[in-house]
């Protein structure tokens, strides 16, 4: 374990985070000054394509420009993800233009009042929870400032609970093979669309399954080729913006199982391995805080009050968001993951994310203009 004890990289809400992109691009007065965090190439462009490459952290890209020449040639720099640096929360902040404290999807697994729901699958591992927790009620804020924007994402996710929660009312243009993405973008622009959003998930998948190395570099090269194919099909005076929802940290087998003196105090756990919320049994809130100090050598041990006061989830936190938080969060700065027996998957994840380290929080915002 080589990460040094460091201060968390807090989201730069309002001055260069994922939640700032769409409010600027969808603003009716976008012809004005371009903020410093946004690539200047967007100024005055007739059309904008926003491509999100899931899991492509700024630090990982910067270390591998030799396998991503197209991305390396684009202008721009890093912005921050949101807290936690996880897909469900970050994509919802991107599309709605709101902080996690405002939209309320505060993590991968959320305590919905006795039921811990996986927000990406909108279930608890046993049953679909769309009827019990209607997505548009859990997260009612419209995407893209209420505009009906073409969204080019995975066809098999259309109609899912999470899609309904963060992409309600969009013009869904699903792809089944990633090679279709440039073609669908080209057709949407040819039909007169001025703003298009596209999503690609390959980099994140490989990082989770294989970690960093040959497989990751090969996938990054493919993603770079996808960006090149999109650029080749763009009409004149169009800007392609590329960003990501989070980066990654290699964790491998470095997992931490909570000892009995902690689990005996718990009602439930939520979040994920690198942003683990602990919900105390009634009356044991102080006990759980004290018990978790043993993890201070590998993680930021923060209370709900600290998360709110330090604006990890933004300057405003809704009642719903506050209710979904635990009493204490374990947020590793070392490359470890806090395990929850109820939070399992088909395979052990090699790379993970969710915490507030630079490797997870810094994401690219890059531009190419035709």
Conformational region of residue 221, where left means phi above 0, alpha means psi within -120 to 50, and beta covers everything else: alpha
pLDDT of res. 175: 97
The rounded percent of the chain whose pLDDT value lies above 70 is 97
- Specify the fold of 18-250+355-369: Alkaline Phosphatase, subunit A (3.40.720)
232-276 pLDDT per residue, tens: 999 999 999 999 999 999 999 999 999 999 999 999 999 999 999
238-243 and 47-53: which strand pairing?
A: parallel
10 Å CB burial of residue 71 (0-12, 13-18, 19+) is buried
Burial of 160 (0-12, 13-18, 19+ CB in 10 A): middle
| 3-state SS, residue 362 | strand
Identify whether the C-beta of residue 223 lies closer than 8 Å to the C-beta of residue 72.
no
Q: For residues 307-331, give the mean pLDDT.
A: 98
pLDDT one-digit tens code per residue, 22-68? 999 998 765 678 999 999 999 999 999 999 999 999 999 999 999 99
Given a cut of 90, is residue 346 above it in pLDDT?
A: no
DSSP assigned state of 173: -
Contact predicate 202/183, CB 8 Å = no
pLDDT at 2 over 50: no
Q: Could you tell me which residues are beta bridge partners of residue 363?
A: 79
**CB-based contact 331:274 (threshold 8 Å):** yes
So what's the pLDDT on residue 199?
Answer: 98
pLDDT digits (tens, 9 = 90+) for 185-210: 999 999 999 999 999 999 999 999 99
Contacts of 214 (CB under 8 A, 6+ apart): none
CATH number of 255-350: 3.30.1360.180
Domain map of the chain by residue range? 18-250+355-369, 255-350
């Amino acid at each position: 374990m080589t990460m040094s004890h460091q201060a968390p990289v807090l989201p730069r809400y309002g001055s260069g985070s994922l939640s700032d992109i769409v409010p600027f691009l969808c603003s009716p007065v976008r012809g004005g000054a371009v903020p410093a965090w946004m690539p200047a190439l967007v100024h005055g462009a007739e059309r904008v394509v926003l491509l999100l490459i899931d899991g492509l952290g700024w630090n990982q890209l910067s270390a591998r420009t030799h396998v991503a020449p197209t991305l390396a040639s684009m202008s721009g720099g890093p912005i921050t993800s949101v807290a936690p640096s996880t897909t469900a929360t970050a994509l919802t902040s991107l599309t709605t233009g709101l902080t996690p404290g405002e939209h309320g999807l505060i993590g991968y697994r959320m305590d919905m009042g006795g039921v811990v729901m996986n927000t990406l699958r909108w279930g608890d591992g046993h049953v679909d929870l769309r009827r019990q927790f209607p997505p548009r009620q859990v997260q009612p804020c419209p995407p893209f400032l209420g505009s009906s924007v073409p969204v080019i994402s995975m066809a098999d996710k259309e109609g899912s609970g999470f899609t309904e929660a963060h992409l309600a009312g969009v013009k869904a243009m699903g792809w089944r093979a990633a090679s279709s993405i440039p073609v669908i973008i080209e057709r949407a622009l040819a039909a007169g669309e001025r703003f298009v959003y596209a999503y690609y998930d390959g980099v994140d998948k490989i990082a989770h399954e294989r970690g960093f190395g040959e497989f990751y570099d090969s996938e990054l090269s493919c993603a770079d080729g996808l960006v090149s194919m999109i650029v080749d099909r763009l009409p004149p005076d169009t800007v392609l913006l590329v960003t990501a929802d989070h980066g990654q940290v290699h964790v491998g087998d470095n997992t931490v199982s909570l000892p009995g003196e902690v689990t005996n105090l718990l009602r439930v756990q939520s979040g994920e391995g690198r942003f683990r919320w602990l919900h105390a049994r009634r009356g044991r809130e102080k006990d759980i805080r004290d018990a978790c100090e043993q993890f201070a050598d590998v993680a930021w041990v923060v209370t709900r009050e600290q998360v709110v006061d330090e604006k990890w989830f933004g300057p405003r936190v809704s009642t719903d968001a506050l209710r979904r938080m635990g009493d204490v969060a374990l947020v590793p700065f070392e490359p470890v993951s806090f395990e929850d027996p109820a939070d399992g998957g088909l395979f052990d994840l090699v790379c993970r994310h969710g915490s507030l380290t630079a490797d997870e929080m810094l994401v690219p915002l890059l531009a190419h203009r035709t």
